[in-house]
Chains A and B, each alone.
Chain A
Amino acid sequence: EIVLTQSPGTLSLSPGDRATLSCRASQSVTSNNLAWHQQKPGQAPRLLIYGTSNRATGIPDRFSGSGDGTDFTLTISRLEPEDFAVYYCQQYGSSPMYSFGQGTKLEIK
């Protein structure tokens, strides 16, 4: 069973900073089918990135994804106030068919 481990658990940064979030898989992610979702308190998640590096519709270009195999990264180049949220990575294709990381909370320093 594939397990996704996100780090850090909490990231404290200021608006304007660069954020780097990590997602490590216990085995290779099938076809690099790795997505990132953002969730704000009391809201449903929102898809940011699919297929490791493709931005979803309407997502600003300050969000970028990269990685290969077992190591993946979400980068937010310059933090806006609305970016402070919880971020989840999610894989598709390995047993279980879908799974999520435990999340990284991005908080204002």
Chain B
Amino acid sequence: EVQLVESGGGQVKPGGSLRLSCAVSGFTFSSYSMNWIRQAPGKGLEWVASMSISGSFIYHADSVKGRFTISRDNSKSLLYLQMNSLKAEDTAVYYCGRGRYSGTTSDFWGQGTLVTVSS
């Protein structure tokens, strides 16, 4: 069974940092691109970042570029999102998603981890 489990969320002050993790099981992590998507409370979905299988191709949304960094450890089947210089508008549930169909979408999602940026 495919499973993705995010962790590392919590409350942090503006300007602070957090690192999110996504642990996967039930599939060969090193064979799939991966994505981070977020959802602010009561709002829609927003793509955050994507990473190719080997890590050769990395993309970040303009809203997080220079502050967030996606990375992966294929030996541990872990996906990460390092979030620095956090702002109130980064408050959201953060989901990791498995890339599929040539990376054009996510076919499985985790249950999400909540990040709250507040003083």
Contact = CB atoms under 8 A, between A and B. Distances in A.
Contacts of B37: 45, 98
A35 B105 contact: yes
Contacts of A45: 37, 45, 95, 106, 109
Secondary structure of the B contact surface, majority rule: strand
Nearest to B48: A98
Contacts of A98: 35, 37, 47, 50
Contact of B103 (A46, A57, A92, A100): A92
Instruction: Point out which of A35, A45, A99 has the most chain B C-beta atoms below 10 A from its C-beta.
Output: A45
Contacts of A33: 104-105
Interface string A51-68: 100101100000000000
B1 interface: no
Instruction: Point out which of A46, A47, A93, A98 has the most chain B C-beta atoms below 10 A from its C-beta.
Output: A98
Nearest to A103: B44
Interface residues of B, number: 23
A88 B45 contact: yes
A51 B111 CA distance: 24
Interface in B100-116: 100-101, 103-112
A54 B100 CA distance: 13
Contacts of B27: none
B104 A50 contact: yes
A51 B101 contact: yes
A44 B50 CA distance: 18
B107 A97 contact: no
Given A50-B105, A103-B45, 15 more contacts: A44-B110, A45-B37, A45-B45, A45-B106, A45-B109, A47-B105, A47-B106, A50-B101, A50-B104, A51-B101, A57-B107, A90-B105, A96-B61, A97-B59, A99-B47
Which 6 residue pairs of A and B lie closest in terms of their CB atoms, listed nearest first? Answer: A98-B47, A35-B105, A92-B104, A44-B109, A100-B45, A33-B104
18 contacts: A37-B45, A44-B110, A45-B45, A45-B95, A45-B106, A46-B109, A47-B108, A50-B100, A50-B101, A57-B107, A90-B105, A92-B105, A93-B104, A97-B47, A97-B50, A98-B50, A100-B46, A100-B47
